[in-house]
Amino acid sequence: MINLRSRLLIGYGYMMVLLLLTAGSAAFGFFSISEAIDRILSENFQSVSASMEMMESLEEQKTLTVTALLESGTDIAPLDDAERAFYAAIDTARENATIDGEDELIDELQRQFEQYVEVQHEILADDVEAMPMEVFAFRIMPAFVETRQTVFALTELNHEAIVTADEEAQATALHMAGLLGVLVTIAMVSMVFLSRTLQQKVLRRLRDITKVAEAISAGDHHRRFDITINDELGVVSHQLNTALDTHDELQAEMRGRLNQQKQLVLGLLEEVEGELLLLGLDGTLIASSCERLQREKLEHVQKWLVDHRKEMLRDFRQSSTEVKMNMELDDQLLSMRLLAAGGERPVGWMVQVTEAECEPPNGSESEEES
């Protein structure tokens, strides 16, 4: 089974991959769109600029032709410059042709312009003196109009290409936006799923462990931690359960030994004549062979020992002599003696009841058990 650490690493690694994929897709999409727009606009801008240059060259040639027809002796050298400018614009348009049918339209435009130039040169070569404008209108103007319309057609074709490129860029942008939206949605849903899984697999189990620990600290030693899931928290829970079981076993063993020692002490007391009480230094009843000592009297003795034990222990340490004390309670005489291990370390009190008239100590046995 995959442990908790591996699950967390896989989950957050998955989130990182989604975020990187989203960011990478966005960057790639916008870069592709920008590059395509720049390329298409640049190419079509060059074609449109070439069309404008063609139009200016045609207009210049028309003006120079009319001037040459009306004024004899006019220098027609600028016509050659305008013609070369037109051919240069055609070459530019051909180099930037990227649209279907653009090459064919440029070829047709070149053919028409060559016809226009040929007619123009023929008329200018002849010495036309009578009705020059009629000659221009009927022989040159038709070729000029045809060539200009083709230039307009080329310009319109490039304009339509720009509009199409804009529409495609918008469609691509919408597509990329939709893809990014899907990726972001997947990332958000995954984050919710991972958060819920983290809460169920980690936080809820930590809460359960806390509740069990609080119950155990409150005295419910039978509670145990859940070890059904074999991960890090399961291993910790198993180790804690083992420690609790070991603690309970040690406590049970200790209670058995204490009970055995208590029975041994009671057996020793039975061998001593008279009725005796063994009390700890703090006045706790350890064992008793007196079956009829009143509870109120026992509590009085315990309280008296607690109140005077510091003074008696100080006297014992200073003098290192046996400490004895007698107390009369009604018709009973109680002889109290400090017990010391090795004659040096105080361990408790032995109280001897010299009178026989004793009543059963109500609840004394239950106190001993507790």
Residue 362 has pLDDT above 50, yes or no: no
State residue 338's pLDDT score. 81
Q: What is the mean pLDDT of residues 55-71?
A: 82
Residue listed under structure tokens 């050659």? 80
Q: Specify the CATH number of the domain 273-369.
A: 3.30.450
Which tops the pLDDT comparison, 279 or 92?
92
Tokens of 239: 């180790």
Q: What is the pLDDT of residues 332-351, one digit of tens each?
A: 777 777 887 776 778 788 88
Q: What is the pLDDT of residues 281-327, one digit of tens each?
A: 777 877 777 766 667 777 788 888 888 778 877 777 777 777 777 77
Residue 369 has pLDDT above 50, yes or no: no
Residue 365 has pLDDT above 70, yes or no: no
- In this structure, the chain runs to a length of 370
Dihedral sign computed on CA atoms, order 142, 144, 145, 149: positive
* Banded model confidence at residue 96, pLDDT cuts 50, 70, 90: confident
State residue 356's pLDDT score. 41
Residue 169, CA distances (Å) to 10, 32, 176, 315 in order: 37, 10, 10, 105
**Residue 278, burial from CB neighbour count under 10 angstroms (0-12, 13-18, 19+):** buried
Q: Which helix (H) or strand (E) holds 29?
A: helix 4-70
Start-end of CATH 1.20.120 domains in the chain: 4-193
Residue 123 has pLDDT above 50, yes or no: yes
State residue 270's pLDDT score. 66
* Banded model confidence at residue 128, pLDDT cuts 50, 70, 90: low
* Banded model confidence at residue 31, pLDDT cuts 50, 70, 90: confident
Q: Which of 367, 22, 362, 350 is nearest to 188 (CA)?
A: 22
Q: What is the pLDDT of residues 237-249, one digit of tens each?
A: 888 888 888 888 8
Supply the Cα-derived Rg of the chain in whole angstroms.
58
Start-end of CATH 3.30.450 domains in the chain: 273-369
Helix boundaries (H) for 71-136: 77-95, 102-125, 132-135
Residue 58 has pLDDT above 70, yes or no: yes
Predicted TM-score (pTM) of this structure: 0.45
Q: What is the pLDDT of residues 185-211, one digit of tens each?
A: 887 887 777 777 776 777 777 888 888
**Phi and psi at residue 338, to the nearest 5°:** -80, 125
Residue 170 has pLDDT above 50, yes or no: yes
Which tops the pLDDT comparison, 76 or 24?
24
Average pLDDT, whole number, for the chain? 76
Q: 221: phi > 0 → left, psi -120 to 50 → alpha, else beta; which?
A: alpha
What fold does the segment set 4-193 form as a domain?
Four Helix Bundle (Hemerythrin (Met), subunit A) (1.20.120)
Rounded distance between C-alpha atoms, residue 58 and residue 76, angstroms: 14
DSSP for residue 340: E
